[in-house]
Chain A
Amino acid sequence: MSAKSESHAAPAEPTLPQAATIRAAALVAILAFLMVAPFLFYPIFLMKLLCFALFASAFNLLLGYTGFLSFGHAAFFGGAAYVSAHAVKEWGVTPEVGILLGVAFAAALGLVMGLIAIRRTGIYFAMITLALSQMFFFFCLQAPFTHGEDGLQGVPRGHLFGVIDLSSQTNMYFFVLAVFLLGVGIVWRFVNSPFGMILKSIRENEARAVSLGYSVAGYKLGAFVMSAALAGLAGGTKALVFQFATLTDVAWQMSGEVILMTLLGGIGTLIGPVVGAGLVVTLQNYLATSDFPVTIITGVVFMVCVLLFRRGLIGEFYASRLGRRLGFRPER
């Protein structure tokens, strides 16, 4: 997607000589904060945040870097949640195996959905992913092993690698943090890899990519499956954090939520989805205790973002003078 009305180039802003150092220092500071955070904030809240930040990053891999808006990512997130929860609870596997099974499921589902959806682009792609994930929702509603409206409850955290007891919130937090860093690292690596470069060229000029001999469909499908798998990683982990998996995880509202997180934070930026997820999860937490209708706020934020704020928070920052001075370049 591109915000065509903002396509004029930002005036050249000299990068501060210390820009690279500042960016590195900021990164270190954030990591340091993440290490001590569980001792300052409620760990479950932080873990929820990390899971959704990973989910949003996975989604952004598809939207921000490939230009495909998927309205059905809840299927991968929730589907993996169900599979991981079931594997750990019913089959008694260790948590990391459970999560990997969830990832595998999400990737497979991504392959199937992708094969169907890739046949159209743009809006049609979005509508198809929505319809397919709704189909998956109905399947989950009726399948016996999901326990329908009740969901899969009482999922044990288990022992990581058979050794580390994850029922301790601190242990679980650091595990989730590791998963998050791994996931985001994969996204970063993917975007900057040759595969990612080709995807970017497909997004900019598909006809030329085809004429250069690239199997465009193959690359699009690869990105879709990768995005689905990482969303599955987030979902499987989330199932262990909260120790349940429900229909909410596969509902279209969840797909909408992850879109909002990415839009709010900044499409096509690496930390944008993380920031967006942080904001949305915090807001939901805050509103959960009050009487205020979350849906209305979500809807209004969506509209405001689309009308006025398309680059998202991080995108706006990157495009601002300070951002450019610090050496950030907006995606487009």
Chain B
Amino acid sequence: MIFGIPMVALMGQLLVGLINGSFYALLSLGLAVIFGLLRVINFAHGAQYMVGAFAALLLLKMGGVGYWWAVILAPVIVGLLSAVVERTMLRRLYDLDPLYGLLFTFGLALTVEGIFRYYFGASGQPYSPPKELAGAVNLGFMFLPIYRGWVVIASLVVCLAVWFLIEKTKLGAYLRAATENPILVQSFGVNVPLLLTGTYALGAGLAAFAGVLAAPVYQVSPLMGSNLIIIVFAVVVVGGMGSIMGAIVTGYLLGIAEGLTKVFYPEASNIVIFVIMAVVLILRPAGLFGKEA
């Protein structure tokens, strides 16, 4: 017993918190990457997450394509579709006030969710985890469902891979430089417009990947993205969008905070992240890892 809470319950909620945190980390990472280079707040991120989950579902139902393929195909599909959106529509807004980008992606989110809601209704559909990840393992102090453990590990690996890509590779150097001065980078001969499209596709792909991971955990529903995205916004404000690692760490931290709140003060668990956001804004407006004052 810890603070009057049985160990099993505490560990159980911590695990839930860690899983939620995995999704918060993946999604806020995607948002941060897109915002960093494109200066656009991608409201459609939740919709891309949802479409990723649906892609996995539909691949299985209509094509008999299983989870392991879906994990790769869904992000690619969503990434390509998003690249088309960026090329044809989103890039016209780069010279304008960034709020227009927010409004455009908001409209995109509404449209995509509306379409899926129209065809699939509002209720959730189940998606089974692959049999390789089914079942649970006994850790002594709790039972750990294998799939949930996979979610945490997979998201961590992907987050770190993206971090490595951006901080340690040549491509990442182009991205970081283009974030500071896109015209200059273009004057070196780097095809920055293509870089922008690729970055948006990468962010969308990350969201879709999160969606596939989420499908067995949360059920696949057209509404799964929209409430999540608002929480992710709060996560991003808490973290500040200055650093990639900051976005990842904040995601996991806030997920765990949410999990802990559920144990000790369940009524507040819905809003604890918002409360933390308010506190951070008062004490340190730039966010925990933010750069601007």
Contacts and interface: CB of A to CB of B under 8 A. Distances in A.
Given A119-B281, A296-B114, A303-B111, A1 B99 contact: yes
Nearest to B31: A127
Contact of A131 (B93, B113, B226, B277): B277
A119 B285 contact: yes
Interface stretch (A2-10, A48-56, A175-183, A273-281): A2-10
Given A132-B274, A138-B270, A138-B271, A5 B95 contact: yes
Chain A, interface size: which category? 35 or more
B100 interface: yes
Interface string A1-43: 1111100000000000000000000000000000000000000
Nearest to B230: A134
B61 interface: no
Given A296-B114, A302-B110, A5 B277 contact: no
Interface residues of B, number: 42
B233 A130 contact: yes
Contacts of A3: 96-97, 100
A117 B97 CA distance: 19
Contacts of B100: 1, 3, 306, 310
B111 to A, nearest CB: 3
Interface string B92-134: 1101111110111011111111110110000000000000000
A193 B268 CA distance: 43
Nearest to A256: B106
B234 interface: yes
A319 interface: no
B89 interface: yes
B73 to A, nearest CB: 26
A225 to B, nearest CB: 17
Interface string B46-87: 000000000000000000000000000000000000000000
B282 interface: yes
Report whether over half of chain B's contact residues are helix, strand or loop; otherwise say mixed.
helix
Nearest to B238: A131
Interface in A98-144: 116-117, 119-120, 122-124, 126-128, 130-132, 134-135, 138-139, 141-142
B212 interface: no
Interface in A278-301: 293-301
Contact of A303 (B96, B108, B115, B236): B108
Nearest to A127: B233
B256 to A, nearest CB: 19
A299 B102 contact: no
A307 interface: yes
B107 A306 contact: yes
A250 interface: no
Contacts of A302: 103-104, 106-107, 110-111
A273 to B, nearest CB: 15
A142 B270 CA distance: 10
Q: Which of B98, B99, B237, B274 has the most CB of A within 10 A?
A: B99
Contacts of A305: 107
B207 to A, nearest CB: 17
Q: Which of A131, A294, A296, A298 has the most CB of B within 10 A?
A: A131
Given A123-B41, A131-B274, A293-B114, A1 B97 contact: yes
A135 B271 contact: yes
Given A116-B278, A303-B107, A293 B118 contact: yes
A300 to B, nearest CB: 5
B102 A69 contact: yes
Contacts of B267: 142
Given A296-B110, A299-B107, A139 B271 contact: yes
B103 to A, nearest CB: 5
A272 to B, nearest CB: 15
A263 interface: yes
A4 B95 CA distance: 7
B275 interface: yes
Given A127-B234, A302-B106, 19 more contacts: A116-B282, A119-B282, A128-B277, A131-B231, A138-B270, A252-B226, A294-B114, A295-B114, A296-B115, A297-B114, A299-B112, A299-B113, A300-B107, A300-B111, A302-B104, A303-B89, A303-B111, A306-B93, A307-B89
Interface of A: 1-5, 69, 116-117, 119-120, 122-124, 126-128, 130-132, 134-135, 138-139, 141-142, 252, 256, 259, 263, 293-303, 305-307, 310
Interface of B: 41, 89, 92-93, 95-100, 102-104, 106-115, 117-118, 226, 230-231, 233-234, 236-237, 267, 270-271, 274-275, 277-278, 281-282, 285
Closest CB pairs A-B (n = 8) = A302-B107, A299-B110, A299-B111, A295-B114, A296-B114, A135-B274, A303-B107, A131-B234
8 contacts: A4-B96, A116-B278, A116-B281, A132-B274, A139-B271, A295-B117, A302-B111, A306-B104
